[in-house]
Structure 1
């Protein structure tokens, strides 16, 4: 069995050169620091969605965030601090009971940060788990401070404890649904990723291999991009309102409600929430691996997005079959949509945007029992049933107004207005134009 934690550390996929994977670094810290030792940890997180919207392109926004985090680490007087990375976060660790690092931030990306001293006990596996769960807590506190800059306190415990007084149960559940450094946890029995795979997602090709695949593309290829629909709150069936899939935050709402009401203490909530998050992140790893495996050997999907993949596939049938298979494997738990666009002779940036538009189409159809809710190919028009579902979805967002959940989908529809008009029947053009 391949080890899940390696030293020297692997590169954090998608980050600039020289950025080590946070899981491997925390694993090494657990090995070097014995029982009774204290490790000081700080986490810097980023406003990814806002940066993506500002950039007008998901890949460009993600690059800005990760470049910014690398600059934060470079510009910080680190001393004994070691920097490592995952997702949209920077993790800084220092042996001993240190004070917080002196962080310097640029203006390009909005960040938040928090810190904590972690006491390590038990064997190596237990010490790893302590560091990984602490990172979950500190990252949540950093997210809260990012969104509430009036919070002066930076230690994670009081920040998180204050959250139950400052947030509604729905907001608290969303906060608890944070991404983990390692979905499979720190147990020694978990198999690790092979060379070329994402350290967080064994079996799924790393984003670092995507550039080479793009360089070797042919006009016969199709650009594909996938994303889990409604990973936070789950998807409801459009026909009857019943639940189609669970959501990360939806699963945590029964925990957040008594916490916000003062009936559960914060340490107990964090412990339970972390276990629930491990189970859900394991589901996600299984789902993404099923997608990745199903397009092989003629296609390849890479872990370029937090809960989605990008890659090249030979044809529509390959992608449609892969998405259907993966969705059946995690039925009731999570459900992906996929967009694709023929590569033809266009440049990759233009094709990527077309594929992302098609992925966006699946999001307007999520929960509907139509084939294009799973996979949409750029250039394929929506039929009458799919058009009705898409228009109902966008109309609902317009009525809800700015600032409501899902409003970014309406912003995307407006950005891609001309493409929507190309894919909708003429009978829907007037209604769509009134919305967008």
Structure 2
């Protein structure tokens, strides 16, 4: 009897399978990271009531979280230039999980604020480092979809888990939410420690430099990178996405209850629905831009133009959501408007990934997140001030959404004008040749 066996997988096939396993692991981590950020919004009303906080004070606490988040994104992401992303992520996840536990037992505002601020510092480097890992595993033309899958995973996890967490808060109290999140963090830390990996250096370098449109020096001064149009336009796009993230984590549940009049349980279900809409928008942008890139369309036509158009459309829909439509329609329009802006999370890392040398990428992505996080720092305070100073909470939320629409429109212009990676790469290459002469 003759025995036959299938041929072993080729290195390319093995690499592709390994790459998508890494995507799944990073998705699991991002779900926990996302829920950690969203937790304060889920407990906004009971925390404000228990600690005697005004909306403005609560918004300031959230802004403080994102302020430290922004500083840490640049400060700690530099570690990704020097140390293994595998073990760096394990340490960060364990630290941020431990920081959830004091929140579950504290009776003082001071400890509550300190733990949230420290949590922001520990969580900030995750996205730059994870995007660096993804860009090791995927070539330029195939990066947009996996990056947006990881970005969308937080919202997808929210679809399933936030209604359950809302039920937990309703039945067991808001403190148990932070215990559950701590345990979830320890679980994903173990998973990444055992199964996470970076791509071998020689393969990662090949994946990082395969773009046919650009050729950059081996190293570019950081001042040139952060002053480039591509970096500044990427910051503007991420500013919008972070603005929406902070608004969603700090104010959307309260908006659905206070502004639109839904009960706590119905608001929790609606938050899940909104995350469905937002996740579809996030994945849609990634699939569209990657499809265009794989067909040889330039970065500008595949990534920049669609992003600018979506920002403008999102601004119009946000304004429409405040125009006296029924509460359910208003909530759904809010979700669609926010969904159209989610590409802001992906356009910067991919555009910069085309031109930034791989050895500098973690630090640059960290600086990008720092700049974009200004949106997350600003949004909670702006919303809190507008809500507190309006005649009614609903009026305050509407004013805040009009401001948000203006931010979208301005970002669309900046993205269209500034994000030109091919031009920036050519400029750096010319200057490098001149300096070598």
Range class of TM-score, shorter chain: 0.3 to 0.5
1 or 2, which has the higher helix percentage?
A: 2
TM score, norm. by length of structure 1: 0.34
1 or 2, which has the higher strand percentage?
A: 1
Highest RCO, 1 vs 2 (Cα 8 Å, sep ≥ 6): 2
